Structure 1
Amino acid sequence: MSNLYVEVDDDALAEAAAILGTRSKKDTVNAALHEVARRRRRLQALEELMEMGGRGDFDILMDKANYRR
């Protein structure tokens, strides 16, 4: 872990803590950083799914006979 000394907006920090359910400043900042990274990964996954849909990769599922008995 890195030690980093920065000035942060107290109102933004308090709002983030309330949203994230964290108690300390350190936990709030770390949780916010993790959430940003997770959000980006979710967006990338969604973009990949949209590309797959655009290519027709899921078209086989349009016919129920292909996935139901």
Structure 2
Amino acid sequence: MRTNIELDDALIAEAMEITGLSTKKATVEKALRDLVENLGRRKALQELRGIGWSGDLENVRNSWSAEDIKSQDAAE
């Protein structure tokens, strides 16, 4: 889709420098993809809020000994 937009020259130049991209089109597309990905992750995290966890965190923390971890590392 072809669209004409006005961009802040300093902002687009900084974005091009930071990303290493050589065109305004590629820079704008990268920015949009990053925005969609970032907001998608935030939305997914928000959806996880409040689902709860019924486990015993203290029990989980204390159920592994240093020896258990060493033997598991050795097995890998």
Q: Normalising to structure 2: TM-score of the pair?
A: 0.64
Give every structure 1 segment of 4 or more consecutive aligned residues whose post-TM-superposition deviation is greater than 3 Å.
none
Please give the root-mean-square deviation of Cα atoms over the aligned residues, in Å: 2.4
How many residues are paired up?
A: 63
Structure 1 21/42 Cα, relative in aligned 2: closer, same or farther at 3 Å? farther
Unmatched tracts of structure 2, length 5 or more: 69-76
Give the superposition deviation at 1:5: 1.4
The answer to which structure, 1 or 2, has the higher relative contact order (CA under 8 A, 6+ apart) is 1
How do 1:1-69 and structure 2 match up within 5 A? 2-52=1-51, 56-57=52-53, 59-60=54-55, 62=57, 63-64=59-60
In terms of Rg, which structure is larger? 2
TM-score, length basis structure 1: 0.69
Percent of paired sites with the same residue: 32
